[in-house]
């Protein structure tokens, strides 16, 4: 009692004792002091009760008035207190009794004497009683023993009954578990041994497979590694399954409820994210990882989602590390800020028992609960080994099968909402029930394993086990029922799979387009909007098959239209074919071997021994045919085509000469024998220029005509598709400016430019002003147009953050953001993925282009100038504007550089004509200042954009042809162009309608002759278009899989690499050559320079191929450069790393290798024998240096000033270089020049017009003669540029070698407009 503050009743007891003992301090303190006396009990025993006073007794009785102040009540609180109270009561009672009993004591003394007498008598009686009692005790002892034995037996019997009942309950309750536990026990025993292989496989999976695709992971884990362990007889679980060892159904269900897709790849990614010992770096182009992480971490991530561009990311990261919170870096690109390296590497040190990490210049306390996540939207980033060593790179890119499962949920939710909701409830219930069942089973085992003593005596435990088992049985029954229901639901849902499958195929068609152009970036969320719209708008049908067909058709066409909106015209046919091929592949109707051949042709590095039988058959076409006849089944007619051609070439020549051969029956009745795809393969071998048309016909045959008819640009539709958080990104092409159309749309919708439509062109320092526009516009509901975003790429990351901020702040419903940009790889993915992309291009064709120009011309504008020549000249200017834009279509044959002639050029030129004609009218001057107009338009306005001198020559030629008094010559009317079908004239003076009516009568398609080009330009255009389509389609093909013929991709690459290695010659020994030529002539100096460059090429080829072979065998890592090399070898393309060190060329790898070997032979002969009689200029690295050396040598010999010397060229009659018997003393003979845009008349020895379908002709041997510039007088010649390749020159003039003088009897303007030029090498 003493150490504690007692209850009040006990305190009162102690105070009573204090009073009775006559201690002055009547309190708990006094009581504690009293009880602290070790003789306390002795003082109570020896207490002088006769010394009590009436005052003491009265004080104690005051306490006794409390009815609860009784021993019984105090006993409930304290037994010691109750004992003391009894003592107190005894003392008080004694006092009361003592007052009455003292008088009687005297009487007692008297009675005691009588008592002594009686006691003597009593002793006798007691002796007799003792004898009897002893006898009775013996008998009682015997009775008690027998009674105890009886009670013990009864208790044992009761215990046995109770244990039997408990055992029965246990057996009944846990009997069903016996078999499972027995089996699991055996399994666990065997797994002890299997853990070796299981742990090896799972740890390998966690360590190495993160960055790879699902198929590659499966191949590594379940084939390569698993088979290797089996072969080595390493014990492991069979069948082996990663999910069984690294996660559980309960956890997978939780992940699914948090938004992680439930396909196998996503589950693997979930395992890698949560189990790996390095922080995850998720490659997440579809944003599935970031959405899951945000939902999984929930509020813990609030304020802890940053990018490396945020200035405060380090501060928030420090707080997360200290307090053990999660942290997410999103939108990570290929650069990872080295500041966080200590975190990634977990460089934790122990400082006085605390875990500490150094971040920047600070030491921060480390909490083991800290979790770091990094996510990147880049679809295929290149991270070095150091990043892979510090992080767990995880490929979250969705698979086609995984996306199909997700889209199936979307389709069923739309079509059968009740079914999908039932399924989702069922999934949630099953997940929860599995979790509960797991907990119950764990509880069951835990209770059993932790039980002490005899389990049969623990009735509480048995009752718990019974209840647990009952619940487990109930849940198991529910799960069984749920599984049956789920199976039934899945059967119904599976009927909607075709729609989901098509959607998945289409998304991957869209998503892979970024391989062609970085602006073609589409997010999964954007696709889901299109997919949902297709479900909403597709035609209903009572029959499920009809409904599915409508959904599939609507979705396919919607995706085609949506994607076409953001594609350049040149890529739209490629999209149509890719979509068709992938749809057919999904249906199992695409022959991959045929498709590979169609895209790549014959990739062999050697020419076929079987020579082409006819000169007219294209060289590469015959090589392709030699491979085509080995494709397909033995019974295929393809195998007989070469024999048919050799047997009778006449029908093939007739078919080859057709203008549209694809529309004509194939020779030998092959049209009926070959499929549409096989016919395309044959067209590839014979008429490459008609392949694009064949592709169009193929798409129409398989998909329908609407899939080769792209949608027209409708700004009202674009506006309807946009939202306040979906910006519209206009991707610009030369000659197109959407600003005027957006302004027009704004005026129609009440957003007048300058008022509710704010616009500005971005440039240096314009970022803050643009940000101000955005913030104002998003709150007030304005339209904001930011033009030329490509000119301020550094600010675009800020723009991306602004858009995220605007989206989070719920912008005004009328707010719209319009962006214009040229294609640039620096445009942020985040903006591209959230935006509606629209490609703007000038109208295609003269007619549409002129109609577009006139649509912006009003009658009021025409009336501003009173001069009669003004209206016809407006038409001439519109024609000129259309011609210079449409000429771009023909590539390098049209312009060396694709200039951005646009509406502004047209408007200002129009204003110039109006100004000068008005002035002439006012001055009554009959003379029109043609020279001034030609100069201002050709040199200042349109010419101001032209950087290439030969392009400027074309532009001024057009103006010379179009502007002059001849326009108004009534005796000889002017025609832009006229033939039997069409006549392009200048309408006479009249109202605007008279001009638009003439435009309306023009044909949609025009012949190249309208531009001054040869009809072959169309063949060239279609050939280039075909090659561009092939190149783009090859870029879209998956890199996994084989290359045909049973050879894997790696085997094919290795084979090509070995083949090239065998063809690489030894390096030239330059020091030895220098000793042989101690004082080299100018051309010999060129030889040394060329050989040095050649040796550099050889070293690069040898080293790169050796490293590639080592990388393929796994000896070294596959770097990004080696990966590009491998990809090029696989696709039969010249690797970029080699191309950089070689002369420019457009050749594919096979033809380049033949060119490479020929170059070596020329270098070898030049070094060993001497300078060639006829130089193959195409084989030199820098041919300009050789030509300069020729001039230098002549100047040295003849004493000419070098700066006043030049070259004169003459075409010889030598068709065969072998006929040249000796080298020129001054100058040289050159072979290997190819004439483009014209032909050569060998008899007349001058230029002539090309023959049909002959695009390029090899020029006879050309003679180059150095001369003094002052003595060179030439006439009837055409100054022809000589370029390295058919790509001609770029904007900087790189590619031009020299200018050749070719004889002609035509006016030079004819050849200028024909695009005539010479090339050193062709593809």
Given a cut of 70, whether residue 169 has pLDDT beyond it is no
Other residues' Cβ atoms within 10 Å of the Cβ of residue 902: 18
Given a cut of 90, whether residue 24 has pLDDT beyond it is no
Given a cut of 50, whether residue 559 has pLDDT beyond it is yes
d(CA 1211, CA 1261) in angstroms, rounded, equals: 6
Decide: 698 and 584 in contact? Cβ < 8 Å: no
Grade residue 553 by pLDDT with cuts at 50, 70 and 90.
Answer: very high
Span 759-773, mean pLDDT? 90
Q: Give strand pairing partners of 283.
A: 376, 395
Grade residue 466 by pLDDT with cuts at 50, 70 and 90.
Answer: low
Decide: 1231 and 1221 in contact? Cβ < 8 Å: no
pLDDT score of 1042: 47
DSSP codes, 581-617 = HHHHHHTT---HHHHHHHHH----SS--SS--S-TTS
pLDDT score of 681: 93
Grade residue 178 by pLDDT with cuts at 50, 70 and 90.
Answer: low
279-283 and 1246-1248 beta bridge pairing: unpaired
Span 343-360, mean pLDDT? 87
- Closest by Cα among 1077, 1126, 1087 to 1105: 1126
Decide: 1222 and 1174 in contact? Cβ < 8 Å: no
DSSP codes, 1026-1091 = HHHHHHHHHHHS-SSSB-STT-BHHHHHHHHHHHHHHHPPPPP-HHHHHHH-SS--HHHHHHHHHH
Given a cut of 70, whether residue 4 has pLDDT beyond it is no
d(CA 780, CA 812) in angstroms, rounded, equals: 6
pLDDT in tens, 800-854: 888 888 888 889 999 999 999 999 988 988 889 889 999 988 778 888 889 988 9
pLDDT score of 175: 63
Decide: 1057 and 1105 in contact? Cβ < 8 Å: yes
d(CA 816, CA 725) in angstroms, rounded, equals: 8
Higher-confidence residue of 1046 and 71: namely 71
pLDDT in tens, 953-1004: 999 999 999 999 998 888 888 999 988 888 999 998 889 999 999 999 988 8
pLDDT score of 1008: 92
pLDDT in tens, 1118-1168: 888 898 999 999 988 999 999 999 998 888 898 899 999 999 999 999 999
Given a cut of 70, whether residue 444 has pLDDT beyond it is no
pLDDT in tens, 522-545: 888 889 999 999 999 999 988 989
Grade residue 254 by pLDDT with cuts at 50, 70 and 90.
Answer: confident
pLDDT score of 465: 67
Angle between helix axes 676-686 and 650-657 (nearest 10 degrees) is 90
pLDDT in tens, 1183-1213: 999 999 998 888 888 888 888 888 889 999 9
pLDDT score of 1066: 93
pLDDT in tens, 684-699: 999 999 999 999 999 9
Under DSSP, is residue 1243 helix (H, G, I), strand (E, B) or coil?
A: coil
Under DSSP, is residue 1263 helix (H, G, I), strand (E, B) or coil?
A: strand
d(CA 401, CA 586) in angstroms, rounded, equals: 11
Grade residue 389 by pLDDT with cuts at 50, 70 and 90.
Answer: confident
d(CA 837, CA 567) in angstroms, rounded, equals: 8
pLDDT score of 988: 87
pLDDT score of 430: 67
371-376 and 326-329 beta bridge pairing: parallel
Given a cut of 60, whether residue 1041 has pLDDT beyond it is no
Given a cut of 70, whether residue 2 has pLDDT beyond it is no
Grade residue 461 by pLDDT with cuts at 50, 70 and 90.
Answer: low
pLDDT score of 556: 95
Angle between helix axes 54-64 and 79-208 (nearest 10 degrees) is 50
Given a cut of 90, whether residue 474 has pLDDT beyond it is no
pLDDT score of 45: 83
- What are φ and ψ of residue 1175, in 5° steps? -80, 130
Please provide the average confidence, as pLDDT, over all residues in the chain.
Answer: 87
Grade residue 216 by pLDDT with cuts at 50, 70 and 90.
Answer: confident
pLDDT in tens, 917-962: 999 999 888 899 999 999 999 988 999 889 999 999 999 999 999 9
Given a cut of 70, whether residue 396 has pLDDT beyond it is yes
Grade residue 1044 by pLDDT with cuts at 50, 70 and 90.
Answer: very low
Q: Per 3-state DSSP, what percentage of the chain is helix, strand, and coil (rounded to 5)?
A: 60, 10, 30
Grade residue 478 by pLDDT with cuts at 50, 70 and 90.
Answer: confident
pLDDT score of 93: 87
Given a cut of 70, whether residue 513 has pLDDT beyond it is yes
């Amino acid at each position: 009692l003493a150490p504690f503050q007692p209850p009040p009743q006990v305190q009162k007891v102690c105070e009573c004792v204090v009073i009775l003992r006559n201690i002055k301090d009547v309190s708990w303190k006094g009581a504690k002091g009293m009880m602290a006396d070790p003789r306390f009990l002795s003082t109570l025993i020896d207490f002088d009760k006769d010394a009590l006073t009436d005052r003491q007794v009265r004080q104690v009785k005051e306490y006794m008035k409390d009815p609860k102040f009784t021993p019984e009540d105090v006993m409930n609180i304290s037994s010691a207190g109750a004992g003391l109270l009894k003592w107190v009561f005894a003392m008080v009672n004694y006092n009361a009794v003592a007052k009455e009993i003292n008088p009687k004591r005297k009487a007692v003394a008297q009675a005691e004497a009588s008592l002594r007498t009686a006691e003597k008598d009593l002793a006798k009686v007691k002796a007799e009683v003792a004898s009897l009692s002893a006898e009775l005790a013996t008998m009682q002892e015997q009775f008690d023993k027998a009674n105890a034995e009886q009670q013990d037996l009864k208790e044992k019997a009761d215990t046995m009954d109770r244990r039997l009942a408990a055992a029965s309950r246990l057996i009944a309750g846990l009997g069903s578990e016996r078999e499972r536990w027995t089996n699991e026990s055996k399994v666990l025993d065997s797994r002890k041994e299997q853990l070796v292989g299981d742990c090896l496989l799972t740890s390998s999976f966690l360590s190495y497979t993160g960055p790879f695709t699902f198929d590659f992971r499966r191949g590594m884990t379940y084939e390569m590694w698993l088979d290797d362990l089996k072969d080595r007889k390493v014990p492991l679980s069979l069948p082996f399954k990663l999910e069984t060892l690294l996660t559980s159904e309960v956890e997978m269900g939780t992940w699914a409820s948090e938004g992680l897709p439930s396909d196998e790849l996503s589950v693997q990614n979930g395992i890698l994210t949560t189990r790996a010992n390095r922080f995850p770096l998720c490659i997440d182009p579809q944003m599935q990882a970031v959405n899951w992480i945000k939902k999984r971490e929930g509020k813990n991530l609030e304020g802890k989602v940053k990018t490396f561009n945020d200035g405060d990311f380090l501060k928030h990261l420090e707080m997360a590390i200290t307090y053990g919170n999660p942290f997410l870096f999103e939108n990570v690109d290929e650069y990872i800020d080295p500041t966080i390296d200590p975190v990634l590497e977990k460089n934790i040190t122990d400082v006085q028992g605390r875990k500490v990490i150094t971040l920047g210049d600070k030491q921060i306390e480390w909490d083991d609960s800290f979790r770091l996540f990094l996510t990147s939207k880049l679809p295929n980033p290149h991270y070095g080994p150091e990043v892979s060593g510090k992080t767990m790179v995880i490929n979250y890119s969705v698979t086609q099968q995984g996306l199909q499962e997700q889209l199936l949920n979307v389709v069923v939710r739309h079509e059968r909402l009740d079914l999908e909701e039932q399924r989702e409830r069922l999934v949630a219930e099953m997940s929860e029930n599995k979790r509960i069942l797991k907990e119950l089973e764990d509880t069951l085992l835990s209770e059993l394993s932790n039980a002490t003593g005899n389990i049969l005596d623990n009735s509480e435990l048995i009752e718990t086990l019974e209840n647990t088992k009952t619940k487990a049985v109930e849940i198991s029954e529910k799960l069984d029922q749920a599984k049956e229901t789920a199976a039934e639901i899945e059967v119904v849902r599976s009927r909607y799979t075709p729609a989901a499958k098509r959607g998945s195929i289409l998304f991957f068609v869209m998503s892979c387009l970024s391989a062609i152009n970085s602006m073609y970036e589409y997010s999964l969320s954007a696709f889901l909007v299109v997919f949902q719209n297709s479900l909403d708008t597709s035609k209903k049908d009572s029959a499920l098959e009809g409904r599915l067909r409508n959904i599939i058709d609507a979705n396919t066409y919607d995706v085609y239209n949506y994607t076409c909106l953001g594609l350049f015209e040149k890529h739209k046919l490629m999209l149509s074919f890719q979509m068709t091929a992938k749809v057919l592949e999904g249906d199992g109707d695409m022959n991959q071997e045929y498709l590979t051949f169609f895209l790549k042709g014959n990739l062999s590095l050697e020419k076929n021994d079987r020579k082409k039988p006819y000169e007219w058959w294209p060289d590469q076409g015959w090589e392709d045919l030699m491979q085509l006849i080995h494709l397909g089944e033995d019974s295929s007619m393809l195998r007989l085509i070469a024999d048919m051609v050799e047997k009778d070439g006449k029908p093939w020549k007739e078919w080859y000469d057709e203008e549209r051969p694809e529309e004509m029956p194939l020779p030998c009745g092959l049209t009926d024998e070959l499929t549409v795809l096989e016919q395309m393969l044959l067209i590839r071998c014979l008429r490459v220029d008609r392949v694009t048309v064949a592709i169009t016909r193929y798409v129409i045959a398989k998909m329908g005509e609407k899939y080769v008819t792209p949608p027209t640009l409708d700004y009202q539709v674009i506006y309807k598709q946009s939202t306040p958080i979906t910006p519209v990104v206009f991707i610009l092409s030369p000659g197109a400016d959407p600003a005027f159309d957006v302004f027009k749309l704004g005026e129609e919708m009440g957003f007048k430019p300058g008022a509710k439509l704010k616009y500005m062109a971005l440039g240096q320092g314009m970022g803050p002003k643009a940000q101000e526009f955005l913030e104002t516009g998003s709150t007030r509901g304005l339209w904001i147009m930011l033009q030329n975003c490509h000119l301020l790429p550094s600010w675009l990351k800020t723009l991306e953050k602004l858009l995220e901020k605007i989206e989070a702040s719920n912008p005004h419903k009328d707010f719209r953001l319009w962006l214009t940009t040229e294609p640039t790889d620096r445009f942020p993915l985040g903006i591209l993925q959230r935006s509606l992309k629209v490609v703007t291009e000038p109208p295609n064709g003269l007619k549409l282009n002129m109609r577009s120009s006139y649509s912006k011309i009003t009658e009021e504008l025409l009336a501003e100038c009173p001069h009669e020549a003004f209206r016809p000249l407006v038409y001439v200017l519109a024609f000129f504007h259309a011609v210079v834009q449409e000429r771009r279509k023909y590539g390098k044959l049209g312009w060396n550089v694709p200039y951005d002639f646009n509406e502004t050029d047209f408007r200002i030129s129009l204003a110039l004509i109006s100004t000068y004609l008005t002035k002439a009218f006012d001055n009554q001057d009959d003379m029109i200042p043609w020279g001034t107009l030609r100069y201002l338009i050709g040199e200042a306005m349109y010419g101001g954009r032209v950087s290439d001198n030969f392009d400027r020559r074309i532009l001024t030629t057009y103006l010379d042809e179009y502007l002059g008094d001849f326009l108004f010559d009534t005796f000889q009317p002017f025609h832009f162009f006229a033939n039997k079908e069409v006549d392009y004239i200048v309408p006479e003076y009249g109202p605007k309608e008279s001009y638009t009516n003439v435009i309306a009568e023009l044909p949609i398609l025009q012949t190249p002759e309208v531009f001054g080009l040869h009809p072959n330009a169309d063949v060239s255009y279609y050939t280039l278009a075909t090659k561009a389509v092939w190149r783009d389609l090859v870029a879209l093909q998956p890199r996994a899989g084989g290359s045909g013929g049973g050879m894997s991709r790696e085997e094919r690459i290795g084979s090509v690499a070995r083949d090239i290695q065998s063809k690489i010659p030894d390096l030239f020994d330059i020091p030895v050559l220098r000793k042989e030529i101690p004082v080299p002539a100018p051309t010999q100096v060129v030889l040394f320079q060329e050989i040095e460059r050649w040796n550099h090429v050889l070293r690069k080829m040898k080293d790169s191929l050796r490293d590639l072979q080592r990388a393929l065998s796994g000896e070294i890592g596959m770097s990004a450069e080696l990966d590009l090399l491998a990809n090029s070898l696989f696709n039969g393309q010249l690797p970029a790393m080699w191309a950089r060190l070689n002369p420019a060329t457009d050749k594919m790898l096979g033809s380049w290798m033949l060119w490479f070997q020929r170059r070596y032979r020329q270098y070898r002969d030049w070094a060993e024998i001497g300078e060639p009689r006829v130089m193959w200029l195409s084989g030199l690295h820098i041919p300009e240096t050789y030509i300069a050396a020729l001039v230098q040598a002549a100047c040295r010999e003849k004493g000419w000033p070098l700066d006043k010397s030049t070259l004169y060229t003459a075409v010889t009659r030598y068709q065969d270089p072998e006929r040249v018997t000796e080298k020129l003393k001054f100058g040289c003979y050159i072979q290997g020049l190819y004439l483009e845009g014209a032909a050569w008349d060998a008899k007349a020895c001058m230029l002539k017009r090309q023959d049909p379908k002959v695009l390029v002709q090899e020029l006879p041997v050309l003679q180059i003669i150095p001369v003094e510039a002052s003595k060179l007088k030439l006439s009837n010649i055409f100054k022809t540029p000589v370029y390295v390749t058919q790509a001609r020159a770029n904007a900087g003039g790189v590619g031009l070698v020299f200018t050749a003088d070719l004889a002609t009897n035509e006016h030079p303007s004819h050849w200028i407009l024909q695009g005539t030029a010479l090339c050193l090498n062709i593809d």
